[in-house]
Amino acid sequence: MSETLPRLSPERLAALPAGVARPRYDRAALRPRIVHLGLGAFFRAHGAHYTEDVLHASGGDWGVVGVSLQRPDQRDRLAPQGGLYTTLRRDASGDAARVVGCLLEVLVAPEDTAAVLARMAAPEAAIVSLTITEKGYCHDPASGRLNRDHPDIRHDLAAPEAPRSAVGFLVEALRLRRERGLRPFTVLCCDNLPQNGRLLAGLVHDFAAVRDPGLAAWIAAEVQLPCSMVDRIVPAMVPEDLEAAARATGCQDAAPVVHEPFRQWVIEDRFVDGLRPRWEEAGAQLVAEVEPFEHMKLRLLNGAHSALAYLGYLAGHETIVDTVSDPAFRAFVQRLWAEEIIPEVPPPPGVDLAAYAAALLDRFGNPAIRHRTWQIAMDGSQKLPQRLLGTLRERLAQGRPIPLLALIVAGWIRYVGGLDEQGQEIDVRDPLARELRAALDAAGTDPAARVRAALGFGAIFGDDLPRNGPFVQAVTTAYARLLRDGARASLAA
């Protein structure tokens, strides 16, 4: 159907159906004030939404330039639409469509590095924000330090004026601003990493110090890198979403995004010269300390998401809603929160963690959101240290039991082994996928040997966990049970 409709464009805005929200502000007044690295579905359904709401509430010139660091796909979809795209807020009652207008252009870094640096170094750019996923930071997840052996980091240190990595782009753009006597931009990390602003500050400092200690000192003194916590479930787009957007708008849209109704954005209120959109007008929480909120979200939401993704996929469940609709998995995640995660999480001010967990379960069970377990399972080598291993370390330090957390780690080991419970190949997407598969294959069929092989990856588990007897034993026991009984029977037990 959608192929016969006109393409979404600025000229079509006035003709959209009455029920479709659209830009009511003057798009011509927007300036490239925010440069966003990593223009995926999440930012377009979250950060761009908040900015769009501010423009509706109070106007302003806070336009966004999106940057794709790897592929031109997003630019090729959005450029013919003048940067416009449809978002579909989806729940059991149906879809609510909105056309977002704050995106001005999309640049593709490998095609035109100079254009990206020019936008970042321009005087009007006040914020550079990022959603590049955990693996995009080219760091060692176990230590939080810059991985100088990463191919992109090696390249950027050798050719700093033609960067490939996000860290390389940030440092080179800041160098240009310093050279030109300009104030720096604020760097706003919006990825699921503990103390993400401080982590990124360390990576930027590590990189800049190798290039020029004077530049590193200027960045440390002048640049603000606030922490933030983001939350909204945004499943990967499927062909049916294109048709849904077309039905709602009467236009062909090559780049719609689907999201749940819930959203949250907690931001440390620390910006260069105080320059930022008034995101609090759109419901964002501007706070002095983000850590309690991000700690809660990483441990409860993201930790449970990974648990359901690995074990649910192994049990044959395609989506999170399918997984939590299975009584065994629903009971498992409730026990996981109550017994092994919540006891280790200090609640943020005014938050009841049990009520927060119950609300999460409702969100996971939204029948209209088809969030694939395979999608969440991606990049587990980068996610596990942030989402699960911190909780494990805290419980081990106190001598507390870890059977449920150990089962999740065992589920991840079985998943990255590349074969599901029916012996079918798993399409494992992970920066270490090849190395992990090779190590597990070389370990043979003995469960203890396979667990030792996986735990030997220090970039994931550090030096401490592979030497922790109770941890190794718990994971080995859980892994052997997974092999013998399967995921569903294992967690039911």
Same domain, 310 and 282: no
* SS3 of residue 62 by DSSP: strand
Same domain, 248 and 371: no
Give the pair of three-digit tokens for residue 85.
Answer: 């795209």
Same domain, 209 and 314: no
Give the pair of three-digit tokens for residue 183.
Answer: 């104030």
Q: Do the beta carbons of residue 453 and residue 443 sit within 8 Å?
A: yes
* SS3 of residue 132 by DSSP: coil
How many Å apart are CA 164 and CA 156, to the nearest integer? 6
Q: Do the beta carbons of residue 223 and residue 187 sit within 8 Å?
A: yes
Same domain, 213 and 266: yes
Residue with tokens 């079918």: 424
Q: Do the beta carbons of residue 97 and residue 21 sit within 8 Å?
A: yes
Q: Where are the alpha helices (DSSP H) in 142-212?
A: 151-158, 166-179, 196-211
Please give the backbone phi and psi of residue 97, each rounded to the nearest 5 degrees, phi first: -95, 145
Which residues, in sequence order, are CB contacts of 14 under 8 Å at separation 6+?
none
Domain boundary among 288, 305, 325: 288
* SS3 of residue 377 by DSSP: coil
In CATH, what number is assigned to the domain containing residue 426?
1.10.1040.10
Domain boundary among 264, 288, 312: 288
Q: How many domains does the chain have?
A: 2
How many Å apart are CA 15 and CA 337, to the nearest integer? 48
Q: Do the beta carbons of residue 317 and residue 326 sit within 8 Å?
A: yes
| DSSP assignment string, 69-109 | SS-SHHHHHHGGGTT-EEEEEEETTEEEEEEE--EEEEEET
Residue-level pLDDT at 299:
96
Domain that holds residue 91: 2-288
Same domain, 233 and 279: yes
Residue-level pLDDT at 437:
97
Residue-level pLDDT at 349:
86
Low-confidence ranges of the chain (pLDDT < 70): 1-3
Same domain, 282 and 364: no
Residue-level pLDDT at 112:
97
Domain boundary among 288, 316, 351: 288
In CATH, what number is assigned to the domain containing residue 248?
3.40.50.720
Give the pair of three-digit tokens for residue 30.
Answer: 């927007």
Positive or negative, the CA dihedral 226, 227, 231, 235 is positive
Residue-level pLDDT at 2:
61
Same domain, 179 and 267: yes
Same domain, 358 and 334: yes
Same domain, 281 and 299: no
Same domain, 244 and 297: no
E strand or H helix that includes residue 111: none
Same domain, 65 and 101: yes
Please give the backbone phi and psi of residue 96, each rounded to the nearest 5 degrees, phi first: -120, 120
Say which amino acid occupies 490: S
DSSP β-ladder status, 31-37 and 127-130: parallel
> What does DSSP assign to residue 255?
S
Same domain, 278 and 330: no
